[in-house]
Chains A and B, each alone.
Chain A
Amino acid sequence: MDPAVIEQLEQTLGTDKVLFSPIDRIAYSFDGTFEQHLPDVIVLPETNEEVSAVVRIASQYDVPVVPRGMSSGLAGGSIPTRGGIVLSLTRMNRILEIDKENMTATVEAGVITADLQAEVEKLGLFYPPDPASTKQSSIGGNVACNAGGPHCLKYGVTGDYVLGLTVVLADGRMVKTGGKAIKYVTGFNMNQFFVGSEGALGIITEAILRLIAKPPHARTALVHFPTLDNAGRTVHAVLTQGLVPATMELLDETAIECIEEAMRLGLPLDVEAILLIESDGADEESVQREIDTIANICLETGASRVDVAYDEEKRAELWRARRSVSPSLARKAPNKLGEDITVPRSEIPEAVRRIKVLSAEYGLPIVIFGHAGDGNLHPNILFDQRDPAQREKVEQIVGEIFKVALDLGGTLSGEHGIGTFKLPYMREALGQASINIQWRVKQAMDPQNILNPGKVLPEP
């Protein structure tokens, strides 16, 4: 990279917002995966104008710009794989407005999702999207990856809450999309254009988010299933009876074992699966009635046991356990690769069965958990990256898992995004025609290919 870039950045932002020492470059070289690549320089802008100025410099010198929030992503999306500028949005963390009457929040991209949730809940409002990384991921990243989470079964994913965005484009211009109005059929839907774009079409700096009223009551049930098929049947039975629980989280036996080892919650170790089902709503009695009905359905469809958590502490503990699954795998093996496939809901038992066969064939443990109600599974392959043989196997397994997903009518990612990890499988997932169209969109938006290059879309 031309050293003049750093000079220009320092002149524009001031030296304290521009980092390029070897130590800083390492600190900004990774995300929530095991991949790593050094950026040439890191900037910590605090305003839209500063972001815009950085992108203008990048464009002038033809240098990649990789937007980065908390960098907890699981697909390599914020790793600066081609060096260049890492644009950290963590210091743009102001909640600009919570509009109680219109039930909207206007926030900067670096606001931590859990912080936003806590603030709006003080006012009786609710921002439902709840990725497991809610404490260590920010709104910008959530929008750019269209993050989901357990509650998205009932409430929808991040994209469903985006009413408006402020985006810095590849030439440094700023554009605002949407607004506070709920209905907005005025031109192309530019909000959804940027949702899930992984920083490749523009840099999201602000978002107007829809809020809803906080459901004051919730009941969580922990349901034991002797077989995975039972669990799959139950999900189907509950949803087809017109019940929409807030969550239906599936954990397979290996996932249960990992949590139990780390947290000792007394989870069952003699079942193939558990479901964590939550009902919530405005009326306590109807919530109770719903969870009771669900409990009965579970027992009819083969659950061996249903425990409803009656106190908040127990409920919080169950959810803490669920959020800890992914990191708790670290004790099993030095590395894990967490996938994010989706399949049509009815195919969950079949998908799990096939993945287990892969695990046995290749001799590497695969832990499976995920959002059963959405057909979104997170198979996590456990391995040791230092062993080249294992690394090769992992690559093969990943390919096979994607094949399973596509074969069953699903796709590569439900909520993590493509990043670099899933790039090689994009053609098969989308077909060349779709890739070509998307690539033309990318070229129109970013003719120099400087915005998070080498991510999301394979280059033709």
Chain B
Amino acid sequence: MIESTAELERPAEEEALYCVRCGLCLSVCPGYRESLKETDSPRARVALVRALKEGLLEAPTDEYSDAFFRCLLCGACTFACPSGVAIDRILELTRGKLANLGLLPEVLADLDSRISQYRNISAEENDGRLIWADNLPAPPTGLDKKQAEVAYFVGCVSSFFPRSYRVPQALVQIFDRAGVDYALLGGAEWCCGYPMFINGELERARELIQHNVEAVRAMGAKKVVVTCASCYHFWKHSYPAALEVEDLGLEVQHATEFLADLLETDTLKLHEIRENVTYHDPCDLGRKGGVTEAPRRVLAQIPGLRLVEMAENRDSSHCCGGGGNLESFAPEVGQAVARNRIRQAADVGAGTLISACQQCERTLTNAARAERLRIRVKDITEVVLEALEE
């Protein structure tokens, strides 16, 4: 995991001085590896920060801004940097500065406005967050609970993108089989704020953060369980700092952490699934979030499942192409990156690629189709539910 650079107080321009321009980051940057154009590399972005400071560039322009937003924020460069340059932090600070200057690309500014207005990324009525719960075999027990041990934070994508309904649908069924005392927030759940944060508008996200923490506290929950890797990363690593508190007084767990503990201690019977699978570490969960073993512990509980690792795994995982709001800003970059990743899964002979983030699941499913690969893409919650059902 990348050691937290959130405390880094040094301005981006100063941190940029520590880059020796060795170029190692180019070898791990999924965007650069696709375009083979230096402008798309972490090294160039760091050089641009310096260029502005040193007068080689007079003022940031739309094109300057483009270079900083055309990035998946996967963090591979920061993890690989042998000089320990906090590239992720440089990008964050620079995006913030650009947003302040009114240079946030329009499509991203629109996204933030939409979130402010609707409390979700989809510009839909926020009360419709639980439509996915309508067609389950039985209504989830967490549906109408006002108080519970565990609050399940579903996230915008799984709430509003029909294709991703399967993730919360699977998790609540697992919860119900295990008798977990949980509650769903419904309309009281607002966008976690991460899209705004990575657009450089943390200030705007603060209202959402405040609201979400209060909503969960109001349930008397001790624990928030999150299925979206990005919501998880933001809740876990940025919420406390954004609220200027040491800790939230709540345990934040990714669903894989919760499931790993549950399956290792509970008596739930898991059936055999005979298959070669590979696990794709979502950047926000693994390298950036620090959770790489829990999902593997979950998979190890399923009899017959054979996990074959891709060469780029855990902290060295290759982005699915779905990060950094690039789906809105430069979808072609993300799609190309996704195709490279799904080919890696095919190369190790996996019949199914399992991820632990609905965004990875979406982008990699599309990539498998684009590449004409016979490989299924599933979220880990779906796989656990299958093993429970068979």
Contact = CB atoms under 8 A, between A and B. Distances in A.
The yes or no verdict on A and B being binding partners is: yes
Interface of A: 19, 21-24, 26-34, 36, 38, 44, 70-72, 88, 90-91, 93, 110, 112, 114, 133, 135-137, 262, 323-324, 326-331, 334, 336
Contact of A26 (B18, B21, B26, B51): B51
Given A32-B21, A330-B84, A23 B48 contact: yes
29 contacts: A22-B57, A23-B61, A23-B66, A26-B48, A26-B56, A26-B57, A27-B44, A29-B56, A30-B47, A31-B21, A32-B20, A32-B22, A36-B56, A44-B36, A70-B26, A71-B23, A71-B38, A72-B23, A133-B22, A133-B23, A136-B22, A136-B26, A137-B23, A328-B82, A330-B19, A330-B20, A330-B83, A334-B17, A336-B20
A327 B36 contact: no
Contacts of A21: 63
Interface of B: 17-24, 26-27, 36-39, 41, 44, 47-48, 51, 56-57, 61, 63-64, 66-67, 81-85
Contact of B84 (A23, A31, A44, A331): A331
Contacts of B82: 262, 323-324, 326-328, 330
Given A21-B63, A23-B67, A90-B36, A331 B83 contact: yes
A30 B21 contact: yes
Nearest to B16: A334
Given A27-B44, A88-B38, A327-B83, 15 more contacts: A22-B57, A22-B61, A32-B22, A70-B26, A71-B23, A71-B38, A72-B21, A90-B37, A262-B84, A323-B82, A324-B82, A327-B82, A328-B83, A330-B85, A331-B84
A135 B27 contact: yes
Nearest to B66: A23
Contact of B22 (A22, A72, A88, A93): A72
Nearest to A132: B22
A27 B48 contact: yes
A328 B17 CA distance: 13
Given A21-B63, A27-B38, A327 B27 contact: no
Contacts of A71: 23, 38
A426 to B, nearest CB: 24
Nearest to A23: B63
Contacts of B57: 22-23, 26
A112 B27 contact: yes
A323 B41 CA distance: 21
Contacts of A323: 82
Q: Which 6 A-B pairs have the closest CB atoms?
A: A330-B83, A327-B82, A27-B44, A136-B23, A72-B23, A27-B39
Nearest to B19: A330
Nearest to A71: B23
A93 B34 CA distance: 12
B36 A26 contact: no
B18 A135 contact: no
A188 to B, nearest CB: 34
A321 to B, nearest CB: 10
A16 to B, nearest CB: 10
Contacts of A32: 20-23
Contacts of A26: 44, 47-48, 51, 56-57
Nearest to B56: A26
A324 B84 CA distance: 11
Contacts of A90: 36-38
A200 to B, nearest CB: 22
A272 B22 CA distance: 27
Interface centre among A22, A27, A88 (most CB of B within 10 A): A27
A66 to B, nearest CB: 13
Contact of B47 (A27, A44, A262, A328): A27
Given A133-B23, A135-B24, A327-B24, A28 B38 contact: yes
Contacts of A33: 21
Contact of B36 (A36, A110, A135): A110
A257 to B, nearest CB: 15
